[in-house]
Amino acid sequence: MKEPILIKFGQRIRSLRKERGLSQEQLAERAGFHRNYVGMIERGERNPSLLNIEVFAKTFGMSLSELLNIEEE
């Protein structure tokens, strides 16, 4: 079973990626990740390390706190 926080984080990554008009492959290339890894993050199938979360934040040009601004239910 997927953890709700991983699903929310994945939705946040997907939303930011689409806002910027990027494909998963383009985001992966900019971040230095494999495209499959980005897809798994977006689907909530992977639990990214804090270091990788920081890479996403830098890739999107935002702070960690901005990236992790995920609304709680």
pLDDT 10s digits, 2-54: 799 999 999 999 999 999 999 999 999 999 999 999 999 999 999 999 999 99
Residue length, the chain?
73
CATH superfamily name and code, 4-67: lambda repressor-like DNA-binding domains (1.10.260.40)
How confident is the model over 64-70, as a mean pLDDT?
94
- Residue 61 DSSP label: T
Question: Which residue, among 13, 8, 5, 6, has the nearest Cα to 59 in the 3D structure?
Answer: 13
pLDDT at 32: 98
pLDDT at 73: 42
Q: What contacts 46, CB < 8 A, 6 or more positions away?
A: 6, 37, 40
Q: Indicate if the pLDDT at residue 1 is higher than 70.
A: no
